[in-house]
Structure 1
Amino acid sequence: MKIMLSAGETSGDTYGAHLVKYLKDLRPDIYFFGMGGNRMFSAGVDIKFDISSKGTVGIFEALPNALSIFSVLSKMKALLLKESPDLLILIDSQGLNMPLAKYANAIGIKTCYFIAPQEWLWGSSKNTKIVAETLDYIIAIFEKEYSIYKSFGANVFYFGHPLLDMIKINSTREQILSKLGANISEPIIMLCPGSRIQEINSVFPVLLSACEIFSQKYPNSFFPVAAASAWIKPYIISRLKKSSLKNFQVFENLTHEIISVSDLVLASSGTINLEASIIGTPNIMAYKLNPLTFFIAKNILKLGNKLKYFSMPNILLGKRLVPELIQENATAANIFNCLNDSYVNKVSFDNKSLLAKLGSPPVFPNIAKKILSFTSSPCTPHLSAGRRGPKGDPRTKATFAG
């Protein structure tokens, strides 16, 4: 059996690696190949392409990498046609993976989207319907996502959020602090600057400036810095060398453990806010986009009318659990004030309501079982009329069972 995977960013690489591990537990004979990063490679995936360093958020932010992404998309299509896998698993990276899914449809390859496009959250009904009609299967990671895609006719399944399985802290506080070399009496402020170069360049400097102010008030503070991947670590270190921040240390593989012993987590927007919230550590989110991207999102796409909040914990709860500092509000002074207030007031962090919205473990074993069932099931019919092979492809129109 052959399964092709397509993960374009660091977070997708992490999810993909965990998924492959559980799939291999059930079927060790499966050949996994496709696009991913170091974590998927370590899990046993034959990595043909790696574009982890090309990830961006935003319209104008994506332009510098557009040609290289298009080139990889063309190569992934050729690989899909050549290998004709039993299933194509798409992970996040909507801009690349939705065109790939449409191509898979055209040549009769079954598709499963894991960490699906968030059209259900901020998109239009038209685009949500396109996602539902394009994919054979969707593995939802939020209950609301499941309900919305289901209402649009998608063949969607929900087992809970995978982070419930991924976050495992087996060490005691004392053991973790020993690894850090941190004194228990010191304020521990964890910095999570993001998994994209764009965030290291635009958000991380502001986070560092806020921490410099904090360290002046609390000289014994310790600042562990999370590197989301090996390739981004040098960029993080380069930024740290340009700052006056002292008493920091960069870590790559202890993120969840360090979060669990930190007084506060200061992060770029992303999955990290949900991770910290699941663990139960107060966290603050800051983010900056290209001004033109933000203008279009706010005034043309009207995302402000669709989303009251931007961090997933707040979105799920419909209220503020995580302080958000966006765009012009994401200044060093504002971030410091928020950081200082949270530290001084020892803000309580009640995550019980959030955890109730994420399901119950185990999650990955159930996802893996369901995905394996897709490989032996006939394709489901889409609301659109049939699929045709691409021009020049000898295959005829795919046949679908009801």
Structure 2
Amino acid sequence: MTALRVFILAGEPSGDKLGGALMAGLKALQSDVTFEGVGGAMMQSEGLESRFDMSELSVMGLAEILPKYRHLKRRIAQTAAAVIKMQPDVLITIDSPDFSLRVAKLVKASSSIRTVHYVAPTVWAWRAGRAAKMAHHIDQVLALLPFEPPYMEAAGMRCDFVGHPVVAEPVATSEDATAFRAFRGMTDAPLLMVLPGSRRSEVARLGERFSEVVRDLKAKHPDLQIVVPAAAPVADAVLELTADWPDTTVLDPRHGDYDAAMAEKRAAFRAADVALAASGTVSIELAAADTPMVIAYDMSPLSRMIISRMLKIDTVTLVNLVSDTRVVPEFIGKACEPTAIAKGITDVLAAPDGQRAAMALTMELLGQGGQAPGLRAAQAVLDGIAQV
């Protein structure tokens, strides 16, 4: 078997995780593989010597880009030059499109190196023209969601559904959930999980409304217990937000052993009877834990106006989209109103089974129980190279 040369790059932690699993998959399928590129701890643990610190790219697409624009532009040019110099069998870019696709564009302009982009853009939701633009410099796309390939293929790219990474994550058992309640001194009364987001802007924007929801529910359900798993970057903001919430347990991941903190978070997900969550991939994590949910989200008035005009779908919740149902209640934009949200949670608590079939179908369609996504992604990359 001939040696495989791969240039791979990621620009944020989620991409680093995908990259690490993909590299492990390639090593399992290919006896002789060489990696160069940019990545974080997960990719480095698989043998990558990152050309520079991945954190330099974390500002891509954000307001912070302006003072660092020239530096980032140099990094794009340097990375593209390194790819062309290496002449790998394949360039794999992972998410972070502001960086990744610019590198791929420069590489394609000067070479015929095969390009693979991991994580399809959400053209099914908005800005459909992105697929056609990508097709000029991307040969193959690895998709996380089962309905994405036709959108990429219509633009002229090969697209392989390789499974969502959440299906490879460990899931707590019912015994873990029982132990969590006992350890935290909780009763058998209903447990509400509140997930106000992982960004400070989300916690700030949603916090007061979520507080009103908690007060409303506690008034109507005095025995209700609340658990709030806080993301590390917003833990202080969450602790401040929940300081006067009754019967509330905040899980702060910054203290103690990291693995133990993640295990407790998984147990909390499984223990909760219902969750109130900000919109995002957390709906898939909740589905994996078999936890019924209500989704609520809002943004600035200007963003709300712009995105509402561009949005092509009638739901933003991945469980609804993947299962092709609308069983998860949503309170988005102007509808993100505490009284309505509280009623939605009460309704789900009264009849949780309505969501369970859709959550199980979602996990099945995302690849649960099948081959690990990293290995599927690796096989898709190798198949693409072989067909050239």
On whether the aligned pair clears a TM of 0.5, the verdict is yes
Residue 324 of structure 1 corresponds to which residue in structure 2? 330
CA-to-aligned-CA distance 1:191-236 (integer Å, 9 cap, x gap)? 22333333233234432442243344445544333344x4x1xx23
Residue 371 of structure 2 corresponds to which residue in structure 1? 362
1:271 to partner: Cα distance: 0.8
1:324 to partner: Cα distance: 0.9
Alpha carbons of structure 1 residues 357 and 30: separation in structure 2 relative to 1, 3 Å: same
Alpha carbons of structure 1 residues 120 and 341: separation in structure 2 relative to 1, 3 Å: closer
* 1:24–1:30 CA contact under 8 A, matched in 2: no
Aligned mates of 1:136, 1:41 — CA distance in 2: 26
For the pair 1:236 / 2:235, whether they are aligned, the reply is yes
Aligned mates of 1:227, 1:163 — CA distance in 2: 19
1:26 to partner: Cα distance: 4.5
Residue 287 of structure 1 corresponds to which residue in structure 2? 297
1:359 to partner: Cα distance: 4.1
* 1:165–1:362 CA contact under 8 A, matched in 2: no
For the pair 1:49 / 2:54, whether they are aligned, the reply is yes
Alpha carbons of structure 1 residues 178 and 281: separation in structure 2 relative to 1, 3 Å: closer
Give me the TM-score of the superposition, normalised by structure 2: 0.79
Q: Amino acid of the residue matched to residue 320 of structure 2?
A: N
Q: Of the candidates 129, 133, 138, which is equivalent to residue 130 of structure 1? A: 133
- Aligned-partner SS, 1:319: coil
Aligned mates of 2:36, 2:171 — CA distance in 1: 26
Alpha carbons of structure 1 residues 42 and 181: separation in structure 2 relative to 1, 3 Å: farther
1:330 to partner: Cα distance: 1.2
Give me the TM-score of the superposition, normalised by structure 1: 0.76
Alpha carbons of structure 1 residues 91 and 188: separation in structure 2 relative to 1, 3 Å: farther
Alpha carbons of structure 1 residues 240 and 340: separation in structure 2 relative to 1, 3 Å: farther
Aligned mates of 2:273, 2:69 — CA distance in 1: 39
1:347 to partner: Cα distance: 5.0
Alpha carbons of structure 1 residues 97 and 307: separation in structure 2 relative to 1, 3 Å: same
Aligned mates of 1:112, 1:179 — CA distance in 2: 48
Aligned mates of 2:122, 2:283 — CA distance in 1: 17
Residue 9 of structure 2 corresponds to which residue in structure 1? 5
1:269 to partner: Cα distance: 1.0
* 1:81–1:107 CA contact under 8 A, matched in 2: no
Structure 2 unmatched ranges of 5 or more: 254-261
Residue 101 of structure 2 corresponds to which residue in structure 1? 98
Aligned Cα root-mean-square deviation (Å): 3.3
1:121 to partner: Cα distance: 3.9
- Aligned-partner SS, 1:348: helix
Aligned mates of 1:184, 1:23 — CA distance in 2: 47
CA-to-aligned-CA distance 1:145-189 (integer Å, 9 cap, x gap)? 112222322122223333322354367245652685242413222
* 1:314–1:322 CA contact under 8 A, matched in 2: yes
Alpha carbons of structure 1 residues 153 and 346: separation in structure 2 relative to 1, 3 Å: closer
For the pair 1:110 / 2:109, whether they are aligned, the reply is no
1:112 to partner: Cα distance: 1.5
1:80-91 matches, cutoff 5 A: 80-82=80-82, 84=85, 86=88, 87-91=90-94
For the pair 1:272 / 2:282, whether they are aligned, the reply is yes
* 1:182–1:222 CA contact under 8 A, matched in 2: no
1:290-301 matches, cutoff 5 A: 290-299=300-309, 301=310
- Aligned-partner SS, 2:148: helix
Aligned mates of 2:80, 2:241 — CA distance in 1: 44
Q: Of the candidates 149, 154, 157, which is equivalent to residue 151 of structure 1? A: 154
For the pair 1:199 / 2:202, whether they are aligned, the reply is yes
Residue 313 of structure 1 corresponds to which residue in structure 2? 319
Aligned mates of 2:296, 2:57 — CA distance in 1: 22
* 2:123–2:151 CA contact under 8 A, matched in 1: no
1:285 to partner: Cα distance: 1.1
Alpha carbons of structure 1 residues 193 and 35: separation in structure 2 relative to 1, 3 Å: farther
Alpha carbons of structure 1 residues 237 and 17: separation in structure 2 relative to 1, 3 Å: farther
- Aligned-partner SS, 1:285: strand
Structure 1 unmatched ranges of 5 or more: 57-61, 381-401
Alpha carbons of structure 1 residues 298 and 4: separation in structure 2 relative to 1, 3 Å: same
1:18 to partner: Cα distance: 3.4
Q: Amino acid of the residue matched to residue 245 of structure 2?
A: L
Aligned mates of 2:188, 2:114 — CA distance in 1: 55
Residue 38 of structure 2 corresponds to which residue in structure 1? 34
The percent of aligned pairs where both chains have the same amino acid is 22
1:2 to partner: Cα distance: 4.7
CA-to-aligned-CA distance 1:83-140 (integer Å, 9 cap, x gap)? 655343323333333323212322434322111211244333x432222332122112
